[in-house]
Amino acid sequence: DPTVGVLALQGDVREHLAALAECDVIARPVRRREEIASVDGLVLPGGESTTMSKLVDTFGVRDLIAARIADGLPAYGSCAGMIMLARTVLDGRPDQRGFDGIDMVVRRNAFGRQVDSFEAPVDLAGVEGGPVRAVFIRAPWVESVGAGVEVLGRVAPGTATGGVDAAAADGAAASGRIVAIRQQRLLATSFHPELTGDLRVHRMFVEMVRAAA
């Protein structure tokens, strides 16, 4: 079985490890260079991208992760992890930096400051069995993508529920926004499938890891 690492500097590492453990891979938390160097796939968890960016430097792993991604290492980022994979981040802190993996522009905390969290059913290209229950927590959206990026899913108008102000998440600015994309071996979602018990997004990523191996 391939080894999939979850970058364990900050964020919801345990939840991703638990989801991966059910997908027939060896799932491990990784933070040191030797650990990152040996994985067949890497998950960048949700959390706080500004903090993650700092810790990536503290642990001295920025160049290694960026190089492995540029070399074709399959990687999956959820929420803050999506931000870490993006080429361009809007509304980020001036000093935050990611791995420049995916040719896309993401907007941090995009669904509105008042909207701490909400859910929506999202249909994903390549995922069978109906929409996933997408959980958004101070989530980014994808503002635009380059030619090589495949859009996998969007928030459909009128589908957001729950949270502090689902109506705001459902507003004109938010509806139709891209929340899942793939660029070759890189996958990113604005939402957190690791929190729902639905393994389909992790299985899609594991398939990408197996195909690359």
Active-site residue list: 79, 192, 194
Site for ligand GLN contains 193 (CB under 6 A)? no
Residues 119-145, buried b or exposed e (16+ Cβ, 10 A)?
A: bbebebeebeeeebebbbbbbbbbbeb
- Interface residues for ligand GLN in 97-156 (CB under 6 A)? 108-109, 137-138
Q: How far apart are CA 180 and CA 157, in angstroms?
A: 16
Supply 151's token pair: 């859009």
Output the smallest distance, CB 117 to ligand GLN, in A. 8
The residues in 30-49 that bind ligand GLN, with binding defined as CB under 6 A, are: 46-49
Closest approach of ligand GLN to the CB of residue 16, in Å: 12
Neighbours of 107 (CB within 10 A): 21
| Site pattern 75..104 for ligand GLN (x: CB under 6 A) | ----xx--x---------------------
Side chain identity at residue 16, one-letter code? H
Interface residues with ligand GLN (CB under 6 A) are 46-49, 79-80, 83, 108-109, 137-138
